[in-house]
Structure 1
């Protein structure tokens, strides 16, 4: 059984690791000079996994941000030619967001930057430790909901 102190320490370690991951990923993105922020990167990755072009409201929901934040991200990505706004064929009042060829190319660069960052972060671990970490992270990600008091 773990103590509240050890749980607090684990939580702090996870937060520190998250900050380190973000810092290293940002560094690898800056090295590639893509001009894409981490938030824009997340939006591009989300778009890439969507079947048909989503509405901005759908993106906001998926990214768990307010719609205005998505508008700002899309504005920046559209200005750099990575995404475009397109009318919905069934309802011209609805605007959907789709990746451009430049956006798909940027995604390839983003994936390479993330792989480089992951290699740097995971370098101290053996293959067995990486496998164990993956299993533990999956357990935490897919874990049971927290009981409400």
Structure 2
């Protein structure tokens, strides 16, 4: 591996670790796990979701999504209801308390991110966001290609 790529990789992982720590710090006042925070955010952005949709959007297996939703429901942050379009399916919706919590968490995370990225100019932030978005889109395209190839082989 070229030294420049190795330095890039090391720097990337160091930044990712730091952001994970900052995110955990932002969640501490509410005693919310990162997986629960991600689910709250997804439900805040999309309204109600079927459990299967939630697991797909969070990139977790359905059983894990069920466990996350169980934890949220036990704390009164979401409810499960029959899907009006398909009574066999269940949709998950935030309660008012869950929506308020999700908004408070998002505000705390944005505040942490603003402090972390304060060393960058507005233009540098925009460029970084564009570059990371490009990497994600390229990776998602590769994943889709791999998934389709696996389906073609019957895997």
The aligned residue for residue 45 of structure 1 is: 41
Residues in 1 aligned to 2:41 and 2:7: alpha-carbon distance in whole angstroms: 32
Is 1:60 paired with 2:58?
no
RMSD: 2.1
Give the structure with the larger strand fraction. Answer: 2
Residues in 2 aligned to 1:19 and 1:90: alpha-carbon distance in whole angstroms: 42
Long gaps (5+) in structure 2:
147-155
The aligned residue for residue 5 of structure 2 is: 7
The alpha-carbon deviation at position 134 of structure 1 amounts to 2.6
Is 1:28 paired with 2:26?
yes
Q: Map residues 69-80 of structure 1 onto 2, 5 A cutoff.
A: 69-80=64-75
Is 1:88 paired with 2:86?
no
- Normalised to the residue count of structure 1, the TM-score between the two structures is 0.84
The aligned residue for residue 125 of structure 2 is: 130
Question: Paired residues, what number?
Answer: 143
Residues in 1 aligned to 2:6 and 2:59: alpha-carbon distance in whole angstroms: 26
The alpha-carbon deviation at position 135 of structure 1 amounts to 3.0
Give the structure with the larger helix fraction. Answer: 2
The alpha-carbon deviation at position 16 of structure 1 amounts to 1.4
1:58-87 per-residue CA deviation (whole Å, 9 max, x = no partner) reads 111111111111111001100111111111
3-state SS of 2:92 partner: strand
Q: Cα 1:127–1:89, aligned 2, differ >3 Å: closer, same or farther? A: closer
3-state SS of 1:84 partner: strand
Long gaps (5+) in structure 1:
none
